[in-house]
Amino acid sequence: MSLPLFLGGFVLFWVYRDFDFAKAEDVLLHGTRWDWMIYSLFFGVLSNVLRGWRWKQVLEPLGANPSNRDCIDAVCISYATNLIIPRIGDVSRCGVLKKYDNIPFAQSFGTVVTERMVDSICIAFITALAFFTQMPVCLSFFRETGTKFSSLGHLFTTEWFYVILLCIVGAGYICYRMIRALSLYDKVKGLLLGVWEGILSLRGVKNMPLFVFYTIAIWASYYLHFYLTFFCFDFTRDLGSLAALLMFAAGTFAVVVPTPNGAGPWHFAVITMMMLYGVSATNAGIFALIVHGIQTFLVVLLGIYGWMSLTLASRKKE
């Protein structure tokens, strides 16, 4: 748990090592359009609601019938849990439904895997759209960050790459043989079969057009949650929707790094991209600091709400 905090803290320290925090405080108190920030936060809340509704759709083919509220509360708790231990949120929301709705953990986790596969397709589409509509800026970003595709391509032609790959495959095979030799193999096999059943639940979704609508609406909400914050500040309101799309895609990949809510890598990606559009380093840093801070605070509030809602609902049932 300490490693993600250390990693995020180190990147934040490096990004903001010479930053004027007094100016950021002045912009927060006197230079922020809070009406636009509230509009942005609305879509942040809406994305959780839509994700909860979509999850319920995927769970139904398994014979599970949790309430919409339980699914939404579990999603809210999962994002808050990620602030403590990154990447554990999906596990926690399955645990929530196991506890409050007695839904088998393996099956619900399989549905989460399915959701993540669908989301990966959405991320790939958004990234491709952002890249081809903002290609000159993307190429400038690669130059600024020192990314050289020729060097990356050379990596796959070296003998060391295939040696390492062979070692990984060999280690995986040895682990597989060891697991088979253990008495826990049957239990592990049963768990994996349950996960696989959850993954295949997508085939049994009754209303596929509604599932597709939820998916599009979720990612549109994520985008608007980010884009509308541009109108909160004088130095970003004229950047445009395509610039926001590119920064949104870059921020989405940055969040993959296991730090609390992407803290550090997200700031670096957004600041670097924003500077390519002519925003000063100071203003870009202010934007990233304020927006990420407020959005993280929203995640905390929604997590507390989800926990309280589930607790009260459980007491009523008892």
Report pLDDT digits (tens) over 289-302.
999 999 999 999 99
Report pLDDT digits (tens) over 134-176.
888 777 766 665 555 455 455 555 555 555 566 566 556 655 6
Neighbouring CB atoms inside 10 A of 91's CB total 15
- Residue 255, pLDDT score: 79
Indicate the pTM of the whole model: 0.82
Query: How many angstroms separate the Cα of 88 from the Cα of each of 9, 91, 93, 199, 211?
Result: 19, 5, 9, 19, 25
Contact 247, 274 (CB under 8 A): yes
Across the chain, which has 318 residues, the per-10-residue mean pLDDT values are: 70 83 87 92 96 92 86 93 83 87 83 86 92 81 58 52 58 58 49 60 82 95 96 92 92 80 86 89 93 94 92 74
- Residue 145, pLDDT score: 57
Query: How many angstroms separate the Cα of 300 from the Cα of each of 80, 220, 261, 297?
Result: 5, 22, 11, 5
How far is Cα of residue 301 from the mean position of the Cα atoms in its chain?
17
134 HSE (CA, 13 A, CB side): 27
- Residue 182, pLDDT score: 47
